Amino acid sequence: MRKKIVAGNWKMNNTLQEGITLAKDLNAILANETPNCDVVICTPFIHLASVASLVDSAKIGVGAQDCADKASGAYTGETSAAMVASTGAKYVILGHSERRSYYGETSETLKDKVKLALENKLTPIFCIGEVLEEREANKQNEVVKAQISEALFDLSPEDFSKLVLAYEPVWAIGTGKTASSEQAQEIHKYIRSVVADKFGKEVADNCSILYGGSCKASNAKELFANPDVDGGLIGGASLKAEDFKGVIDGFKA
């Protein structure tokens, strides 16, 4: 059975001290709970080691928001997948639309990042999603298929099955606009069919596909109730422990 996952994406928020407080708050809020999903927090690089050492790793996984497309060497300012893994982090978000649009990330660089993440036993949370004009032109399926095929179709089915996908319509990120439950289910089902066509039904059935884009406590339950929505990648609503807990509770009966 595929995993249900709620992953927080802190983006470029919180100083180290603020991040430690937030991680402690989340740890405390989940201490007497058994979430019905895996819980992950993806922090800035700076926070990883401290946060990974303070949270209950049986309950909260820690991840980075990116890693370098090179293994090591003279790449000033970069952080490698091996460095991320050495902090105790287990996940890495790759291909977030903000990286693609503001930092020129391409499918070619993403291929290398995915490979390095997997070599270092990190689980990539690989993001795909269309911009508003593409949705308005009804091109969303074409776009996500190209994003998946360009960066991930070189993987073996075994390697692909180590990945988590996150569908994030760019028009819904940080805008307060959420894809409707029907829109989310429709495209998640399509994404699963793309995976099935390439890697086979079993790999597709076991692939967790998260929804991201203004997902919060008030809409999580409805979104997560869809058969092909296996959880969420949560930006704004992951920055307060109670709000994030509200999203995690979207999986409560």
Distance CA 250, CA 6 (A): 9
Pairing of strands 164-167, 91-94: unpaired
The number of CA neighbours under 13 Å toward the Cβ of 2 is: 23
Within 10 angstroms of residue 121's Cβ, the number of other Cβ atoms is 11
Q: Comparing C-alpha atoms, which of 155, 245, 251 is closest to residue 207?
A: 155
Q: Which is nearer to ligand PGA, 69 or 129 (CB)?
A: 129
Q: Which is nearer to ligand PGA, 60 or 199 (CB)?
A: 60
Q: Tell me 88's DSSP state.
A: T
Question: Is 174 among the residues that bind ligand PGA (CB under 6 A)?
Answer: yes
Q: Which is nearer to ligand PGA, 7 or 68 (CB)?
A: 7
Question: Is 132 among the residues that bind ligand PGA (CB under 6 A)?
Answer: no
Question: Is 235 among the residues that bind ligand PGA (CB under 6 A)?
Answer: yes
> Helix/strand/coil (H, E, C) string of 31-56?
CCCCCCCEEEEECCHHHHHHHHHHCC
CB of 73 to ligand PGA, least distance (A): 30
Question: Amino acid identity of 198?
Answer: K
Distance CA 244, CA 169 (A): 20
In this chain, which of 60, 223, 233, 241 binds ligand PGA, going by CB under 6 A?
A: 233
What residues act catalytically? 96, 168
CB of 193 to ligand PGA, least distance (A): 24
CB of 239 to ligand PGA, least distance (A): 9
Question: Is 168 among the residues that bind ligand PGA (CB under 6 A)?
Answer: yes
Q: Could you tell me which stretch among 13-21, 30-38, 115-123, 234-242 binds ligand PGA (CB under 6 A)? A: 234-242
Residues contacting ligand PGA: total by CB under 6 A = 13
CB of 226 to ligand PGA, least distance (A): 17
* Cα distances (angstroms) measured from residue 11 to each of 19, 154, 228: 11, 29, 26
CB of 237 to ligand PGA, least distance (A): 6
Determine the distance from the C-alpha atom of residue 159 to the mean position of all C-alpha atoms in its chain, rounded to a whole number: 17
Q: Which is nearer to ligand PGA, 199 or 230 (CB)?
A: 230
Question: Is 179 among the residues that bind ligand PGA (CB under 6 A)?
Answer: no
In this chain, which of 27, 45, 139, 236 binds ligand PGA, going by CB under 6 A?
A: 236
Within 10 angstroms of residue 210's Cβ, the number of other Cβ atoms is 27
* Cβ atoms of residues 120 and 162 within 8 Å: no
- The site string for ligand PGA over 180-219 (x = CB under 6 A, - otherwise) reads --------------------------------xxxx----
Q: Which residues contribute to the site for ligand PGA (CB under 6 A)?
A: 9, 168, 173-174, 212-215, 233-237
